[in-house]
Amino acid sequence: MPALYQVDVKDVPADHAVLTKALRVIGKMPLQRSAEIATFLQANGGGTVAAGIERSVADHIVGELGKASLKATVSETSVSTPMTCSPEAAESFRWTSTRQLVSG
């Protein structure tokens, strides 16, 4: 299996509109979804925006983010299925007192 990569945003700009627009370009996603991801990245000081992708795709994403003055890096990943950032995933599941993961 060929190596797969992920893209991590390291330096999140204060301008929410710039980040939202950049995410819309690379993810071809609706405005509301890109705004939610932008808010998540700003609140957490960055994060992984895509994983399980080929190197050429990862490099393209980093290039597009760079055009918007965002600093992002490419690194190898163990994720084998292509995916994008999903902040709501953390809100969809929770741990019970008996350490079981349940949908919330």
What average pLDDT score do residues 79-84 get? Answer: 83
What average pLDDT score do residues 67-89 get? Answer: 83
Q: DSSP 3-state assignment of 60?
A: helix
Residue 23: pLDDT band by 50, 70, 90 thresholds? confident
Convert 54-91 to b/e letters by CB count within 10 Å (16 or more is b). eeebbeebbebbeebebebebeebeeeeebbbebeeee
Residue 93: pLDDT band by 50, 70, 90 thresholds? low
Reported as a single tens digit per residue, the pLDDT across 37-60 is 888 888 888 889 889 999 999 999
Length of the chain: 104
**Above 70 in pLDDT, residue 11?**
yes
Q: DSSP 3-state assignment of 83?
A: strand
Q: Domains along the chain?
A: 4-86 (3.30.1390.10)
User: In the structure encoding, which two tokens stand for residue 82, read together?
Assistant: 């292509």
